Amino acid sequence: MMTTTDNEIPKTVTIGKDLIVDRIGFGTMQLVGPKEWGEYPYHDKGIALLKEVVDQDVTFIDTADVYGPHSNEELIHEALHPYPDNLVIATKGGFVRGGPEYADMGAVGNRAYLKQSAYMSMRRLGLDHIDLYYLHTPTMTDVPFEEMIDTLAEMREIGLIRNIGLSNISAEQLQTALEITEIAAVTAHYSIGVRIGAALLKVSDEAGVVFSPWHPAAVPSGEDGTRFHSVLDPLAETHRVSAQQIALAWQLHRSPLMLPIPGTTGVDHLRENLAAVNIALTQSEVDMITDLEEE
């Protein structure tokens, strides 16, 4: 695992060969209806928030076709198109929603469906290509995992997408994918309290693949949260920030390839998240937080 040896962290990360973005992006998953179904009920507020994201110089936005479905990508287009030249929009495909309940969710990975999904995301977003396109899940049963990676490589070859991303995969699946083609980024659940993506982070770090954790600033609550707050709260007081900001800063210190995508529905919270890039933790502080949970 790569960690910084002092309290200085890189301010940017490079996706693929040349897409340079700031270290903290913005995840848009909350800007939809309940259970990620339907349009965001506070439409004007959502538009204003997305505009503020760009005004705060955020250069990486993460979305997916299944958020809504589709309404999240449409909201981004309405709020921000034409996009700033330095803005990278990542989206994902592969999940399908058969209804408003999570139990209605399935996944399709065949060549025709994935290509159609990318084309339709491109249309909704108003783009002529997608800078970073994630396979949203590897759980499809209609085709083998390797065939889906071949399809993504074909999509990149024809210029439909620029970089390949993989979401919610295992470390072993990333290794398999890397034997087939170049992978630019992965995204997984990883935070101070949830280390599901720890093995994947290790492999991506070694391979030079960007790691984008979701729910990156989450701090456990209740009885389980006591031991986390016993470490985070004194650090927050020392640095004069919140425990959530410390949790997010810890992510940035874990690897120079880390690209957290915290989401929010409020402007003040957005600004707090982005300010975490300026929190300089010492290596001993990073280690104290890391040791809170086994990896």
Active site residues: 67
**13, 23 Cβ separation under 8 angstroms:** yes
Phi-psi map region of 145: left, alpha, beta (phi>0 left; psi -120 to 50 alpha): alpha
**212, 25 Cβ separation under 8 angstroms:** yes
| CA–CA separation, 1 and 198 (whole Å) | 10
Nearest to 89 by CA among 127, 138, 38, 51: 127
Residue 149, C-beta contacts closer than 8 angstroms, at least 6 positions apart: 135, 164, 176, 177, 180, 181
**121, 155 Cβ separation under 8 angstroms:** no
CA 152 to chain centre: 19
> Side chain identity at 47, as an amino acid letter?
I
| CA–CA separation, 225 and 157 (whole Å) | 47
Structure tokens at 40: 């965001």
